[in-house]
Structures are given as structure tokens and as C-alpha cells.
Amino acid sequence: MSWVTKTLSSTLGRKLIMALTGLFLILFLTGHVSGNLLLFKSDGGEAFNIYAKFMTTNPAVKLLSYLTYISIIGHVIYSIMLSSKNKAARPVGYAVSKASTNSSAASRNMGVLGTIILLFIVVHMQSFWAQMHWGSIPTVTYGGEEYKDLYTIVKAAFQIEWMVALYVIAMIFLGIHLSHGFASAFQTLGLNHKKYTPAIEGLGKLYCIVVPALFASMPLYIYFTQS
């Protein structure tokens, strides 16, 4: 076994992968939420459709999207490997356990929260990402150029109550996952310092509320205003 594979199969190496992929996905979410704010623009979806075309055709964005796919898959695979080792580390459990007195519920349930988010990602990508790439969706023309009308697909999807509910609930779970994950990733990387850790923790608390809330506001906005 080379030193690289040996390191990446150690518990700390696996945790390093979890932290790096997690932080990359946090960067991705930041970009994703910023771009999607165009849904709030009252121009019949023009700006959003132009943005959607850019995001699916620009080579630099394509490279980033492949990194995002790798990060999601890596984050999931390594979490499964770590969880199975963690489960094996305690074959006989406790009859009485007061874990709530020493740790947060989010930190103890990252796997469950992550699984719910993964299921949501599957539904989410099936609804929009797969449609944009391979689906037959209507086109619109702005300034003589043809664009796929993803906005209409989004608008139609968010007329369905259960879709809106699914998105809002999934974002609550995402927020709880991030409430632990954000600062935890820095701790795993070894970045713990008296001066900076309180700022990282504060930023994490802010991020886990603001970003999921912005995401959740999109289906709600469309459902209530764009019928």
C-alpha cells in the first residue's frame, strides 16, 4: 500500500475527504443560491434562462460541475465507509444513554440528515437538471438566440403543493446538517485557533440559516406569486 492510499484509508484520511468535499459543496451551494436569485427577477424568466444556458455550456462551469458531482459521490461513499467503521467500533450499545447532555442532536445525526438530503438531491436533479440536459423542454428566443425555457419548468414544478413542501422541508434538514458540518469541517482540517474558530462558528451559524432560507424562499415565492 502506498503512503497515499494508506493515508486515505486511515480514519483521519477519510475524515479529510469528508471535510474537503463538504467545504467544496458549501462553496457550490453559495454559487447555486446566488445564481438562482435570478428567479426573483420579474422578467418572465429571461435572466434565469440566459443564466441556465451559461451554466450548462460554459467550459469552466462544466469543470466545476464535475467537481461537484465527484464531491457529492465522494462525500456519500466516505460517509458510508466511516459510518460502518463507527458502528463496528461499538458492537454492544448502552441500555441507558444521555447523549443529549453532552452533544448536539445535529452532530449525532449527520448520517440520517445526509441521507434525507441525498434523497432530495435525487428528486431535485431528476426534476430540473435531467430535464435541462436530456429532457424535451420548450425553447424561447431572446435577441435572436434560442434558449431552453427552464424557467417555465421551474414555474410548473412549484405549482405543485407537495413539491413546494418537499423543498422547504429538505432545506430545513440541509440547514441542520450545515449547522454542524460547516464548523466541523474546519476542525477536521486541523484549523482550530482561539482567534479564528469563534468567527468560523459564527459564520457557520449564519450560513446554515441564510442559505437554506433563501433556497426555500424560491419555491414559496413562485407558488404564491407566479400562478
Partner 1 sequence: MKLTLKVWRQKNASDQGGFVNYPLDGISKDMSFLEMLDVLNEELSEKGEDPVHFDHDCREGICGMCSLYINGKPHGPQQTTTCQLHMRSFSDGDTITIEPWRAKAFPVVKDLVVDRSAFDRIIQAGGYVSVNTGGVPDANEIPIPKVIADEAFDAATCIGCGACVAACKNASAMLFTSAKISQLALLPQGQVEKKTRAEKMIAQMDAEGFGACTNTGACAAECPKEISLTNIARMNREYFSAVISSDNV
Q: Which residues bind partner 1 (CB under 8 A)?
A: 2-3, 7, 10-16, 82, 85-86, 88-99, 101-104, 107-108, 110, 180, 183-184, 187-192
Give DSSP secondary structure letters for 128-157.
Answer: IIHHHHHS---EEEETTEEEE-HHHHHHHH
Strand, coil or helix: 224:
helix
Name the minimum Å distance from CB 177 to partner 1: 12
Name the minimum Å distance from CB 35 to partner 1: 31
In the complex with partner 1, the residue whose CB is nearer, 10 or 58, is: 10
Name the minimum Å distance from CB 7 to partner 1: 5
Distance CA 79, CA 71 (A): 12
| φ/ψ bin of 136: left (φ > 0), alpha (ψ from -120 to 50), beta (otherwise) | beta
Name the minimum Å distance from CB 100 to partner 1: 9
| Length of the chain (residues) | 227
In the complex with partner 1, the residue whose CB is nearer, 60 or 92, is: 92
| C-alpha dihedral sign at 70, 73, 74, 75 | positive
In the complex with partner 1, the residue whose CB is nearer, 17 or 153, is: 17
Name the minimum Å distance from CB 114 to partner 1: 12
In the complex with partner 1, the residue whose CB is nearer, 58 or 86, is: 86
In the complex with partner 1, the residue whose CB is nearer, 10 or 126, is: 10
Name the minimum Å distance from CB 74 to partner 1: 16
Distance CA 133, CA 153 (A): 13
In the complex with partner 1, the residue whose CB is nearer, 62 or 85, is: 85
Name 157's bridge partners. none
In the complex with partner 1, the residue whose CB is nearer, 158 or 173, is: 173
At 175, list the grid cell.
440547514
Write down the H helix ranges in the chain.
3-8, 11-36, 46-57, 59-88, 105-108, 110-124, 130-134, 150-157, 161-188, 197-225
Provide the 10 A C-beta neighbour count for residue 179. Answer: 21
Name the minimum Å distance from CB 112 to partner 1: 12
